[in-house]
Amino acid sequence: MTAARAVIAIPGTMCDARLWHRLPPHLPGVDWRHVPIPDEPDINHLVAALHAALPAGSVNLFGFSLGGYLAAALACRYPDRVARLFICSNSPCALPESEMRQRRQLLAWLTRGGYQGLSDQKIAQMVAARSLADPAIGQCMKDMDTALGLDVLAQQLQASSDRADLLAGVSALCCPVWLCFGEADSLVNRGWIRQLQDAAPAHAVHTVPGAGHMLPLEAPQALARLVARWLA
């Protein structure tokens, strides 16, 4: 497998390699390489650890959700290591105060032992309405959450909450930069996306109709088509 057909893929919060299981069948000839989110205390250390885990040379870097932010931050800090960047289901900017408040509440709840795993209500907030008709999507999300566990959830929330706005850095990248998000994804900041399009019109932005936040599970064929074009 040539380096041009290899993709380094960073998952989102509480996601493991199962996040990608629907993609490879639609990407023949692509070497999809899962790189887990490291156990580090903050964004700077997360990016440094991910950089250390990269293979030699420049890479095709794909990040989903939190992984999308981390991939963008890595590309901004080490632009010579990234041949192509694909940011999926993420707008690499600071978290809004409403989400920061929710995170603080969840972390406090975790310390009191109140977390009982990923709820159906939370899944319904993260996927498009039509995706709820496929129970395998929610089950995969629950399985990943259970496997990673409470300690990983607390670590990832704490490490990833303090995020810088990467608009200037992402705008300045010279490699092919693609962004993709679901039409019903409420976690992506559309205003930030518009600012990026104004600042860097060469960067490609794609919306997947009828999908929510969990694009690799909800719309693997549509996402794979975009990945194939990105690699080409």
d(CA 72, CA 67): 8
The DSSP bridge partners found for residue 33 are 8
Output the pLDDT for position 1. Answer: 44
Tokens 């080490």 -> residue: 78
For the stretch 112-147, pLDDT in tens is 876 788 999 999 999 999 999 999 999 999 999 999
pTM for this predicted structure? 0.96
Return the CATH number of the domain spanning residue range 3-96+157-231.
3.40.50.1820
In which residue ranges of the chain is pLDDT below 70? 1-4, 114
The domain spans of the chain are: 3-96+157-231
Q: Which candidate, 193, 159, 169, places its Cα nearest to that of 89?
A: 193
- For residues 119 and 142, the answer to whether their CB atoms sit within 8 Å is no
Q: What confidence score (pLDDT) does residue 115 get? A: 78
